[in-house]
Copies of this chain bind each other. A is one copy, B any other.
Amino acid sequence: MALMKSWVASANSPNTDFPLNNLPYGVFSCGNDTMPRCGVAIGDMIFDLFKAESDGLLGDLAPVFDVPYWNDFMALGPDAWAGLRATLMDLLKDGAEERPDYLVAQSDVRMVLPFQVAEYTDFYASKDHATNVGTMFRGPENALPPNWLSIPIGYNGRASSVVVSGTDVRRPWGQIKGPDDDLPRFEPCKRFDLELEFGAIVGQPSDGPVTVAEADAMIFGYVLLNDWSARDIQAWEYQPLGPFQAKATATTISPWIVTKEALEPFRTATPDRERDLLPYLQEPGPMLYDIDLDVALAPDGGPETVLSRTNYSVMYYSSAQQLAHHTTSGCPMRVGDLLGSGTISGPQKHQRGALLELTWGGKEPVTLDGGEIRTFLEDGDTLTLRGAAKGDGYRVGFGDCAGKVLAAFAAPYSR
Protein backbone atom coordinates (compact mmCIF):
# COMPACT_ATOMS: atom_id res chain seq x y z
CA MET A 1 0.00 0.00 0.00
CA ALA A 2 1.20 3.53 -0.78
CA LEU A 3 0.90 6.85 1.05
CA MET A 4 -2.65 8.19 1.08
CA LYS A 5 -2.68 11.95 0.62
CA SER A 6 -4.38 14.41 2.97
CA TRP A 7 -5.20 18.12 2.75
CA VAL A 8 -3.17 18.44 5.96
CA ALA A 9 0.20 19.05 4.31
CA SER A 10 2.39 17.68 7.10
CA ALA A 11 0.61 14.32 6.83
CA ASN A 12 2.07 13.80 3.35
CA SER A 13 5.70 13.63 4.44
CA PRO A 14 7.25 10.16 4.15
CA ASN A 15 8.73 10.76 7.60
CA THR A 16 5.61 11.53 9.59
CA ASP A 17 4.34 8.89 12.02
CA PHE A 18 0.81 10.06 11.24
CA PRO A 19 -0.15 9.98 7.55
CA LEU A 20 -3.75 9.49 6.49
CA ASN A 21 -3.01 5.76 6.46
CA ASN A 22 -2.57 5.81 10.24
CA LEU A 23 -5.23 7.97 11.98
CA PRO A 24 -4.35 7.03 15.56
CA TYR A 25 -6.53 8.04 18.48
CA GLY A 26 -5.51 10.05 21.52
CA VAL A 27 -6.71 12.50 24.13
CA PHE A 28 -5.22 15.97 24.34
CA SER A 29 -5.39 18.92 26.68
CA CYS A 30 -4.88 22.55 25.59
CA GLY A 31 -3.91 24.81 28.43
CA ASN A 32 -7.12 26.09 29.93
CA ASP A 33 -9.57 23.49 28.69
CA THR A 34 -11.90 22.29 31.35
CA MET A 35 -11.74 18.77 29.96
CA PRO A 36 -9.25 16.98 27.69
CA ARG A 37 -10.64 16.02 24.29
CA CYS A 38 -10.44 13.01 22.01
CA GLY A 39 -8.60 13.61 18.77
CA VAL A 40 -6.95 11.88 15.84
CA ALA A 41 -3.35 12.61 14.81
CA ILE A 42 -2.83 13.77 11.22
CA GLY A 43 0.70 14.88 10.33
CA ASP A 44 1.81 17.28 13.05
CA MET A 45 -1.76 18.27 13.83
CA ILE A 46 -4.70 16.82 15.76
CA PHE A 47 -8.24 16.76 14.40
CA ASP A 48 -10.58 17.61 17.29
CA LEU A 49 -13.26 14.94 17.60
CA PHE A 50 -15.15 16.64 20.42
CA LYS A 51 -15.72 19.61 18.12
CA ALA A 52 -16.37 17.39 15.10
CA GLU A 53 -18.97 15.39 16.98
CA SER A 54 -20.58 18.51 18.44
CA ASP A 55 -20.89 19.97 14.95
CA GLY A 56 -22.40 16.81 13.51
CA LEU A 57 -19.48 15.87 11.25
CA LEU A 58 -19.34 12.30 12.51
CA GLY A 59 -22.78 11.19 11.39
CA ASP A 60 -25.12 9.32 13.66
CA LEU A 61 -22.67 8.01 16.25
CA ALA A 62 -24.04 8.16 19.76
CA PRO A 63 -22.25 10.94 21.62
CA VAL A 64 -19.03 9.25 22.67
CA PHE A 65 -16.56 12.13 22.54
CA ASP A 66 -18.07 14.15 25.37
CA VAL A 67 -15.72 12.25 27.69
CA PRO A 68 -11.91 12.47 27.89
CA TYR A 69 -11.19 8.84 26.99
CA TRP A 70 -11.86 6.39 24.15
CA ASN A 71 -13.66 3.74 26.19
CA ASP A 72 -17.17 4.82 25.26
CA PHE A 73 -16.32 4.70 21.58
CA MET A 74 -14.55 1.34 21.92
CA ALA A 75 -17.68 -0.09 23.55
CA LEU A 76 -19.66 0.59 20.35
CA GLY A 77 -17.85 -2.27 18.62
CA PRO A 78 -16.12 -3.08 15.33
CA ASP A 79 -18.78 -1.69 13.00
CA ALA A 80 -18.51 1.70 14.68
CA TRP A 81 -14.71 1.42 14.60
CA ALA A 82 -14.77 0.85 10.83
CA GLY A 83 -17.38 3.57 10.38
CA LEU A 84 -15.40 6.26 12.18
CA ARG A 85 -12.25 5.39 10.28
CA ALA A 86 -14.09 5.67 6.98
CA THR A 87 -15.62 9.00 8.04
CA LEU A 88 -12.24 10.38 9.07
CA MET A 89 -10.65 9.20 5.83
CA ASP A 90 -13.33 11.13 3.93
CA LEU A 91 -12.94 14.23 6.08
CA LEU A 92 -9.15 14.34 5.95
CA LYS A 93 -8.30 13.05 2.48
CA ASP A 94 -6.76 15.22 -0.20
CA GLY A 95 -9.54 17.01 -2.06
CA ALA A 96 -12.02 17.00 0.83
CA GLU A 97 -13.26 20.29 2.21
CA GLU A 98 -10.42 21.78 4.25
CA ARG A 99 -11.42 22.41 7.85
CA PRO A 100 -8.47 24.10 9.57
CA ASP A 101 -10.73 25.19 12.45
CA TYR A 102 -10.82 21.59 13.60
CA LEU A 103 -7.03 21.28 13.77
CA VAL A 104 -4.80 21.85 16.78
CA ALA A 105 -1.02 21.70 16.56
CA GLN A 106 0.47 18.74 18.45
CA SER A 107 3.16 21.11 19.71
CA ASP A 108 0.49 23.18 21.49
CA VAL A 109 -1.08 20.38 23.53
CA ARG A 110 -0.31 18.02 26.33
CA MET A 111 -1.34 14.43 25.70
CA VAL A 112 -3.11 12.52 28.46
CA LEU A 113 -3.94 8.82 28.87
CA PRO A 114 -6.03 7.89 25.81
CA PHE A 115 -8.27 5.45 27.66
CA GLN A 116 -9.29 4.37 31.12
CA VAL A 117 -7.27 1.24 31.82
CA ALA A 118 -9.68 -1.35 33.19
CA GLU A 119 -7.06 -3.95 34.08
CA TYR A 120 -3.53 -4.54 32.96
CA THR A 121 -1.96 -7.90 32.15
CA ASP A 122 1.64 -8.43 31.19
CA PHE A 123 2.90 -11.38 29.16
CA TYR A 124 6.24 -12.99 28.47
CA ALA A 125 6.13 -13.89 24.81
CA SER A 126 9.61 -13.36 23.37
CA LYS A 127 11.51 -16.61 23.45
CA ASP A 128 14.86 -14.83 23.45
CA HIS A 129 13.82 -12.61 26.34
CA ALA A 130 12.48 -15.53 28.35
CA THR A 131 15.61 -17.53 27.67
CA ASN A 132 17.93 -14.65 28.57
CA VAL A 133 16.12 -13.75 31.78
CA GLY A 134 15.65 -17.37 32.74
CA THR A 135 19.35 -18.01 32.31
CA MET A 136 20.22 -15.10 34.58
CA PHE A 137 17.60 -15.79 37.26
CA ARG A 138 17.63 -19.60 37.29
CA GLY A 139 20.64 -20.76 35.31
CA PRO A 140 20.85 -22.08 31.73
CA GLU A 141 19.50 -25.52 32.59
CA ASN A 142 16.20 -23.97 33.82
CA ALA A 143 16.12 -20.98 31.48
CA LEU A 144 12.95 -21.66 29.51
CA PRO A 145 10.23 -22.99 31.82
CA PRO A 146 8.67 -26.30 30.71
CA ASN A 147 5.31 -24.62 30.10
CA TRP A 148 6.68 -21.79 27.95
CA LEU A 149 6.20 -23.48 24.56
CA SER A 150 2.60 -24.40 25.49
CA ILE A 151 1.26 -21.38 27.38
CA PRO A 152 1.39 -17.67 26.58
CA ILE A 153 2.66 -17.03 30.12
CA GLY A 154 1.21 -13.93 31.73
CA TYR A 155 0.54 -12.30 35.07
CA ASN A 156 -1.76 -9.58 36.22
CA GLY A 157 -0.14 -6.16 36.54
CA ARG A 158 -1.39 -3.01 38.14
CA ALA A 159 -3.66 -0.77 36.04
CA SER A 160 -3.19 2.16 38.42
CA SER A 161 0.49 2.22 37.45
CA VAL A 162 -0.21 3.04 33.78
CA VAL A 163 0.83 6.57 32.78
CA VAL A 164 1.09 8.39 29.48
CA SER A 165 4.35 9.21 27.73
CA GLY A 166 6.03 12.25 29.26
CA THR A 167 5.19 11.36 32.85
CA ASP A 168 8.23 11.28 35.14
CA VAL A 169 8.93 8.00 36.90
CA ARG A 170 10.29 8.05 40.43
CA ARG A 171 12.84 5.39 41.35
CA PRO A 172 11.15 3.05 43.82
CA TRP A 173 12.12 1.81 47.24
CA GLY A 174 11.77 -1.84 47.97
CA GLN A 175 13.00 -4.94 49.73
CA ILE A 176 16.34 -5.92 48.27
CA LYS A 177 18.59 -8.80 49.24
CA GLY A 178 21.99 -8.97 47.61
CA PRO A 179 23.61 -12.32 46.83
CA ASP A 180 25.91 -11.94 49.85
CA ASP A 181 23.25 -10.65 52.27
CA ASP A 182 21.59 -12.86 54.84
CA LEU A 183 18.56 -10.63 55.08
CA PRO A 184 16.90 -8.00 52.89
CA ARG A 185 17.23 -4.25 53.32
CA PHE A 186 14.65 -1.60 52.54
CA GLU A 187 16.30 0.85 50.19
CA PRO A 188 16.01 2.53 46.80
CA CYS A 189 16.18 0.25 43.78
CA LYS A 190 19.68 0.04 42.32
CA ARG A 191 18.81 -1.98 39.22
CA PHE A 192 16.02 0.02 37.65
CA ASP A 193 15.27 -1.08 34.12
CA LEU A 194 13.00 -0.65 31.14
CA GLU A 195 11.15 -3.25 29.11
CA LEU A 196 10.27 -2.57 25.48
CA GLU A 197 6.78 -3.91 24.89
CA PHE A 198 3.77 -3.64 22.65
CA GLY A 199 0.38 -3.08 24.30
CA ALA A 200 -2.94 -4.38 22.97
CA ILE A 201 -6.13 -2.61 24.02
CA VAL A 202 -9.24 -4.72 24.46
CA GLY A 203 -12.18 -2.86 22.95
CA GLN A 204 -14.96 -5.40 23.44
CA PRO A 205 -15.90 -7.43 26.52
CA SER A 206 -16.20 -11.19 26.89
CA ASP A 207 -17.75 -13.35 29.57
CA GLY A 208 -16.42 -16.75 28.64
CA PRO A 209 -13.68 -18.40 26.58
CA VAL A 210 -13.11 -16.94 23.12
CA THR A 211 -11.23 -18.27 20.11
CA VAL A 212 -8.10 -16.63 18.74
CA ALA A 213 -10.16 -15.18 15.87
CA GLU A 214 -12.73 -13.78 18.32
CA ALA A 215 -9.93 -12.38 20.44
CA ASP A 216 -8.39 -10.65 17.45
CA ALA A 217 -11.76 -9.08 16.68
CA MET A 218 -12.00 -7.77 20.28
CA ILE A 219 -8.72 -5.84 20.01
CA PHE A 220 -9.22 -2.15 19.27
CA GLY A 221 -5.64 -1.07 18.77
CA TYR A 222 -2.09 -0.99 20.00
CA VAL A 223 0.35 1.26 21.86
CA LEU A 224 4.02 1.08 22.74
CA LEU A 225 4.57 0.18 26.37
CA ASN A 226 7.50 0.50 28.75
CA ASP A 227 7.17 -1.90 31.66
CA TRP A 228 9.55 -0.21 34.12
CA SER A 229 11.12 -2.96 36.22
CA ALA A 230 13.06 -2.98 39.48
CA ARG A 231 15.29 -6.00 38.95
CA ASP A 232 16.71 -6.19 42.47
CA ILE A 233 13.24 -6.02 44.00
CA GLN A 234 12.01 -8.59 41.47
CA ALA A 235 14.77 -11.09 42.17
CA TRP A 236 13.92 -11.25 45.88
CA GLU A 237 10.14 -11.06 45.73
CA TYR A 238 9.07 -13.06 42.69
CA GLN A 239 9.07 -16.57 44.09
CA PRO A 240 6.60 -18.22 44.39
CA LEU A 241 3.77 -15.93 43.22
CA GLY A 242 5.41 -13.79 40.54
CA PRO A 243 6.46 -10.14 40.13
CA PHE A 244 4.59 -7.66 42.29
CA GLN A 245 6.16 -4.41 43.54
CA ALA A 246 9.01 -4.73 41.02
CA LYS A 247 6.50 -3.90 38.29
CA ALA A 248 4.13 -1.54 40.08
CA THR A 249 5.99 1.79 39.98
CA ALA A 250 4.93 2.82 36.50
CA THR A 251 3.99 1.48 33.08
CA THR A 252 4.37 4.11 30.37
CA ILE A 253 2.32 3.94 27.17
CA SER A 254 2.56 5.98 24.00
CA PRO A 255 -0.17 8.62 23.65
CA TRP A 256 -1.66 7.38 20.40
CA ILE A 257 -3.72 4.22 19.94
CA VAL A 258 -2.82 2.85 16.52
CA THR A 259 -5.86 0.96 15.33
CA LYS A 260 -5.88 -2.60 14.15
CA GLU A 261 -7.20 -1.36 10.80
CA ALA A 262 -4.16 0.88 10.29
CA LEU A 263 -1.87 -2.08 10.92
CA GLU A 264 -3.68 -4.53 8.61
CA PRO A 265 -1.14 -4.18 5.74
CA PHE A 266 1.64 -5.18 8.12
CA ARG A 267 0.28 -8.46 9.47
CA THR A 268 2.81 -11.25 9.67
CA ALA A 269 2.77 -14.77 11.06
CA THR A 270 4.19 -15.96 14.33
CA PRO A 271 7.34 -18.08 14.01
CA ASP A 272 7.25 -21.81 13.37
CA ARG A 273 6.11 -23.75 16.39
CA GLU A 274 8.72 -25.79 18.18
CA ARG A 275 5.93 -27.77 19.81
CA ASP A 276 2.40 -28.05 18.43
CA LEU A 277 0.07 -25.64 20.12
CA LEU A 278 -3.14 -26.89 21.64
CA PRO A 279 -6.00 -26.24 19.18
CA TYR A 280 -7.47 -23.36 21.21
CA LEU A 281 -4.25 -21.39 20.62
CA GLN A 282 -3.83 -22.06 16.92
CA GLU A 283 -4.13 -18.99 14.73
CA PRO A 284 -6.44 -18.79 11.71
CA GLY A 285 -4.13 -16.27 10.04
CA PRO A 286 -1.20 -13.95 10.65
CA MET A 287 -1.61 -12.20 14.01
CA LEU A 288 1.69 -10.40 14.55
CA TYR A 289 2.77 -7.19 12.82
CA ASP A 290 5.98 -6.14 11.13
CA ILE A 291 6.84 -3.11 13.26
CA ASP A 292 10.35 -1.76 13.73
CA LEU A 293 11.03 -0.76 17.30
CA ASP A 294 13.86 0.95 19.10
CA VAL A 295 14.86 2.05 22.57
CA ALA A 296 16.85 5.24 23.17
CA LEU A 297 18.46 6.52 26.35
CA ALA A 298 19.43 10.14 26.99
CA PRO A 299 21.27 11.06 30.20
CA ASP A 300 20.18 14.32 31.84
CA GLY A 301 21.25 17.03 29.40
CA GLY A 302 23.16 14.55 27.25
CA PRO A 303 22.73 13.12 23.77
CA GLU A 304 20.47 10.21 23.00
CA THR A 305 21.87 6.74 22.31
CA VAL A 306 19.87 4.00 20.65
CA LEU A 307 20.29 0.95 22.90
CA SER A 308 18.27 -1.55 20.96
CA ARG A 309 16.64 -2.09 17.56
CA THR A 310 14.21 -4.92 17.11
CA ASN A 311 10.87 -5.82 15.54
CA TYR A 312 7.57 -6.93 17.02
CA SER A 313 7.45 -9.88 14.61
CA VAL A 314 10.00 -11.82 16.71
CA MET A 315 7.32 -12.69 19.27
CA TYR A 316 6.33 -16.32 19.76
CA TYR A 317 2.74 -15.51 20.79
CA SER A 318 0.47 -12.78 19.41
CA SER A 319 -1.81 -10.52 21.42
CA ALA A 320 -4.79 -12.42 20.04
CA GLN A 321 -3.37 -15.70 21.35
CA GLN A 322 -2.66 -14.08 24.71
CA LEU A 323 -6.18 -12.71 24.93
CA ALA A 324 -7.71 -16.07 23.96
CA HIS A 325 -5.64 -17.75 26.67
CA HIS A 326 -6.68 -15.04 29.16
CA THR A 327 -10.32 -16.06 28.72
CA THR A 328 -9.89 -19.83 29.07
CA SER A 329 -10.82 -19.85 32.76
CA GLY A 330 -13.94 -17.79 32.09
CA CYS A 331 -12.11 -14.64 33.22
CA PRO A 332 -14.32 -11.74 32.11
CA MET A 333 -12.51 -9.25 29.88
CA ARG A 334 -13.63 -5.65 29.78
CA VAL A 335 -13.43 -2.63 27.51
CA GLY A 336 -10.15 -0.91 28.31
CA ASP A 337 -8.15 -3.94 29.39
CA LEU A 338 -4.51 -3.54 28.42
CA LEU A 339 -2.30 -6.51 27.52
CA GLY A 340 1.47 -6.03 27.45
CA SER A 341 3.22 -8.30 24.96
CA GLY A 342 6.20 -8.99 27.18
CA THR A 343 9.65 -7.65 26.47
CA ILE A 344 10.44 -7.75 22.77
CA SER A 345 13.92 -9.18 22.35
CA GLY A 346 15.30 -10.68 19.18
CA PRO A 347 18.06 -13.27 18.89
CA GLN A 348 20.88 -10.76 18.39
CA LYS A 349 22.41 -8.72 21.18
CA HIS A 350 21.39 -5.36 19.68
CA GLN A 351 17.79 -6.64 19.54
CA ARG A 352 17.40 -7.01 23.32
CA GLY A 353 14.60 -4.96 24.84
CA ALA A 354 15.85 -4.49 28.41
CA LEU A 355 19.08 -3.38 30.08
CA LEU A 356 19.01 -6.59 32.10
CA GLU A 357 19.69 -8.45 28.86
CA LEU A 358 21.77 -5.79 27.11
CA THR A 359 24.25 -5.63 30.02
CA TRP A 360 23.78 -9.31 30.96
CA GLY A 361 22.66 -8.54 34.50
CA GLY A 362 25.06 -5.59 34.78
CA LYS A 363 28.17 -7.59 33.92
CA GLU A 364 28.65 -6.04 30.47
CA PRO A 365 28.05 -2.28 30.77
CA VAL A 366 27.04 -0.33 27.67
CA THR A 367 28.80 2.86 26.67
CA LEU A 368 26.56 5.72 25.58
CA ASP A 369 27.41 8.02 22.68
CA GLY A 370 28.41 10.79 25.11
CA GLY A 371 30.85 8.44 26.83
CA GLU A 372 28.82 7.64 29.93
CA ILE A 373 28.50 4.02 31.00
CA ARG A 374 25.30 2.26 32.03
CA THR A 375 24.45 -1.04 33.60
CA PHE A 376 20.97 0.01 34.76
CA LEU A 377 19.15 3.36 34.68
CA GLU A 378 20.54 6.42 36.45
CA ASP A 379 18.52 9.29 37.85
CA GLY A 380 17.84 11.85 35.13
CA ASP A 381 17.90 9.31 32.30
CA THR A 382 15.12 9.67 29.76
CA LEU A 383 14.02 6.46 28.05
CA THR A 384 12.19 6.70 24.77
CA LEU A 385 10.58 3.85 22.85
CA ARG A 386 9.71 4.41 19.23
CA GLY A 387 8.04 2.22 16.67
CA ALA A 388 6.67 2.27 13.16
CA ALA A 389 5.42 -0.08 10.52
CA LYS A 390 7.04 0.85 7.22
CA GLY A 391 4.93 0.98 4.05
CA ASP A 392 5.77 2.07 0.54
CA GLY A 393 6.76 5.71 1.07
CA TYR A 394 4.99 6.06 4.40
CA ARG A 395 5.13 4.88 7.98
CA VAL A 396 2.49 4.06 10.57
CA GLY A 397 4.05 5.21 13.83
CA PHE A 398 3.10 5.39 17.47
CA GLY A 399 4.74 8.62 18.62
CA ASP A 400 7.28 8.64 21.40
CA CYS A 401 6.78 6.55 24.53
CA ALA A 402 9.06 8.43 26.91
CA GLY A 403 9.72 8.82 30.61
CA LYS A 404 12.41 10.37 32.76
CA VAL A 405 13.75 8.72 35.91
CA LEU A 406 13.54 10.89 39.02
CA ALA A 407 15.65 10.24 42.12
CA ALA A 408 14.06 8.14 44.85
CA PHE A 409 12.55 9.96 47.81
CA ALA A 410 15.20 10.61 50.50
CA ALA A 411 13.09 8.42 52.73
CA PRO A 412 10.04 6.62 51.45
CA TYR A 413 7.62 8.55 53.65
CA SER A 414 9.15 12.00 53.05
CA ARG A 415 7.19 12.61 49.85
Contacts and interface: CB of A to CB of B under 8 A. Distances in A.
Given A172-B329, A330-B170, A280 B412 contact: yes
A409 interface: yes
Given A174-B328, A278-B175, A280-B186, A240 B134 contact: yes
A275 interface: yes
A85 interface: no
B174 A150 contact: no
Contact of A248 (B157, B236, B330): B330
A205 to B, nearest CB: 9
A190 interface: no
B238 A240 contact: yes
Contact of A160 (B155, B248, B250, B332): B332
Contacts of A183: 150, 275
Contacts of A237: 147, 151, 153
A118 B153 contact: no
Given A147-B184, A412-B280, A331 B160 contact: yes
Given A150-B183, A172-B330, A209-B412, 6 more contacts: A147-B236, A151-B175, A172-B329, A173-B328, A242-B243, A248-B330
Interface of A: 118-119, 124, 134, 137-138, 145, 147, 150-151, 153-161, 170, 172-175, 177, 183-186, 207-211, 230, 233, 236-246, 248-250, 275, 278-280, 325-326, 328-334, 409, 412-413, 415
